[in-house]
Amino acid sequence: MEKRKEQGPPSAETLKFTVGLYTYEALQESAQYLLDRVKIRPKIGIICGSGIGSLAESLENKQCFPYEEIPHFPVSTVKGHQGQMVFGYLKGVPIMCMQGRFHYYEGYPLWKCAMPVRVMKLVGVTHLIATNAAGGLNPTYKVGDIMMVKDHVNMMGFAGNNPLQGPNDDRFGPRFPPMNKAYNAFLLEIGEQVADEMGIKDIVHRGVYTCLGGPNFETVAELKMLRMIGVDAVGMSTVHEVITARHCDLIVFAFSLITNQCSTDYENHEEANHEEVMDVGKARQSLLQDYVSRIVLRLRDILGLETK
């Protein structure tokens, strides 16, 4: 019998063909489509989570681009995620905002879920504000609280799912990017200062976030395990976006709106649901707009951005 010839890993071209990874050139096309249609050149990008899309609505002089019209973009399918890229001004500061994101449970691989972050980079964004709705695991958190993300646990990475899988393109970043400083310490301080200014310091916390694949909510056993390893809030997004952002050297600030309390009590028969997430987001939309606006104004001063 003829001995089977051992093969090495697939070439970059083969892998791109088989799994459809975006090339640098394809993402340039996405970015150029937007640059050709807007006059502003934002340095700040915002990702709006479930129930928090009203942040995009608060922009002035908006220009909206449905994802299906942008070359190579996937399409958001989740209720509460409008599915468009919005350019405009927040308190006079130029902003690029994702109104709706992409999730692993929608059937997209993580590299596709995170591709808009690279498009933001190519448009010229240097700082990313990522928001999400999350369940509170920390027993001191209440529904409606804000958790600034100080670190994350990449649970999906433990299972071999990572947005940086496949051939690395050095034009975006290094093959092995560090993640020990994924969330900018200075911006965390600004987040606390803004909370103090607004008189909401008692509902703003620093904590550890994790992303699970979804779409089902967590079992009690899963929640107990997550709490044991130090997780304060759990959701279904953000981590792969932050990994991609740090890979291409974006500076990141992220926070979770706590939309439900995760119970680790088997006798608690309350069930988490997406409608609750949307309702809490709606109730907090005014406060969140003010919170993000003040952080954006601080960034404007730090970066020396021109305002409208």
Annotated binding site: 50, 81, 101-103, 133, 218, 237, 260
Q: Which residues are annotated as a binding site for phosphate?
A: 50, 81, 101-103, 133, 237
- Choice among 22, 31, 50, 114 that is catalytic: 50
103 catalytic residue (yes or no): yes
133, 147, 156, 254: the active-site residue: 133
- Type of residue at 305: L
The one catalytic residue among 30, 76, 237, 256 = 237
Q: Which of 105, 168, 192, 276 is catalytic?
A: 105
**Is 184 tagged catalytic?**
no
**How many other β-carbons are positioned within 10 Å of the β-carbon of residue 2?**
4
Nearest to 170 by CA among 239, 247, 114: 247
Residue 106: active-site member: yes
Feature table: binding site for a purine D-ribonucleoside: 218, 260
Selecting among 31, 56, 76, 103, the annotated active-site residue is: 103
Please indicate whether residue 152 is annotated as part of the active site. no
Whether residue 260 lies in the annotated active site = yes
CB 119 within 8 A of CB 27: yes
CA nearest neighbour of 242 among 305, 192, 187, 304 = 187
Q: Which has the closest alpha carbon to 215: 48, 51, 78, 52?
A: 78
Is 133 considered catalytic here?
A: yes
From the list 31, 56, 115, 236, the catalytic residue is 236
Any bridge partners for residue 69, and if so which? none
CA angle 90, 110, 187 (to 5 degrees): 35
Catalytic sites, residue numbers: 50, 81, 103, 105-106, 133, 236-237, 260, 274
